[in-house]
Amino acid sequence: MAPGSWFQKKVYVVISIRPAEPNEWRIYRDVRLQALLDSPNAFGSTYEEEVGRTDAMWAARMAAAASSGQDHVLLARDRESVCGLVWCKLSAEQPTVANLFQMWVDPASRGKGAGRALLEEAIAWAKRVGAHRVNLGVTAAETPAMRLYLACGFRPEGAAQALRESSGLMVQPMSLTVVSTPP
């Protein structure tokens, strides 16, 4: 037996999740645009649609989210670098339904648990604000995102829909029933 062959080195990755602050609109903008470039077939919006937004528009988007009481933007960090995001929003028509949008993890941080951590924190937020169901849409394909959502208990709900007008890709609506936790 070679010296040290019995010893396996473990590497611990520190992924942290926290809400985005309104003054972090530049960070949000940069991560959002990076997501649209990296995974253009995962989002209803496109890089071309969003890159032209002014700084004032990005800042206003984050300020509105922070003051709405309906939105919750989460950022994932891999050590010091922001590596992912998810936008959570309570439905205006159905206040017991939370919708998840813009879920994305930087390729350099995939496989480290950032996606699961973002999703778990989004679900925890939904429970805290009284949601009974969490909805999302995912490209209808055998992908890591689809596997993550299924592993976390999300199930397909309804027929797949077109990603956007100019795309042949389909999005599968999914939902998860949750039990709200008291504040």
76-103 CB burial, b ≥16 within 10 A, e <16: bbbeeebbbbbbbbbeeeeeebbbbbbb
Is residue 5, in this structure, part of any structural domain at all?
no
Please state whether 128 falls in left (phi above 0), alpha (psi between -120 and 50) or beta: alpha
The domain of 27 spans 15-177
Q: Where residue 119 sits, what CATH number does that domain have?
A: 3.40.630.30
C-alpha distances (whole Å) from 74 to each of 3, 66, 109, 110, 168 are: 45, 11, 16, 17, 30
pLDDT of res. 68:
94
Report d(CA 23, CA 35) in Å as an integer. 20
Measured distance CA(87)–CA(64) in Å, rounded: 13
Looking at residue 163, its pLDDT comes to: 82
Averaged pLDDT for residues 90-116? 95
Task: Give the integer Cα–Cα distance in Å for 143 and 67.
Answer: 35
Report the C-alpha gap between 73 and 24 in whole angstroms: 11
List, for residues 70-100, the tens digit of each pLDDT value.
999 999 999 889 999 999 999 999 999 999 9
Distance (Å, whole) CA 112 – CA 32: 20
Residue 4 belongs to a domain: no
Judge whether 6 lies within some domain. Answer: no
* Least confident window among 5-9, 57-61, 74-78, 123-127: 5-9
- Residue 1 inside a domain? The answer is no
User: Residue 169 has what pLDDT?
Assistant: 82
At 133-173, the pLDDT tens digits run 999 999 888 889 999 999 999 999 999 888 877 777 888 99
Higher pLDDT, 159 or 10: 159
In a domain, 123, yes or no: yes
Q: Is residue 183 part of a domain?
A: no
Please report, to the nearest 10 degrees, the dihedral formed by the alpha carbons of residues 54, 75, 110, 136 taken in order: -80
Residue 3 forms part of a structural domain = no
DSSP state of 87: E
Q: Per-residue pLDDT tens for 32-65? A: 999 999 999 889 899 999 999 999 999 999 999 9
Q: How many structural domains are present in the chain?
A: 1
- With respect to residue 7, please indicate whether it lies within any of the assigned structural domains: no
Residues 6+ apart with CB under 8 A from 90: 70, 71, 97, 98, 99, 129, 131
Residue 1's pLDDT is 46
Nearest CA to 160 out of 149, 177, 174 is that of 174
Cα separations in angstroms, 82 against 34, 118, 153: 11, 12, 26
How many Å apart are CA 72 and CA 77, to the nearest integer?
A: 16
Question: What pLDDT is recorded for position 141?
Answer: 83
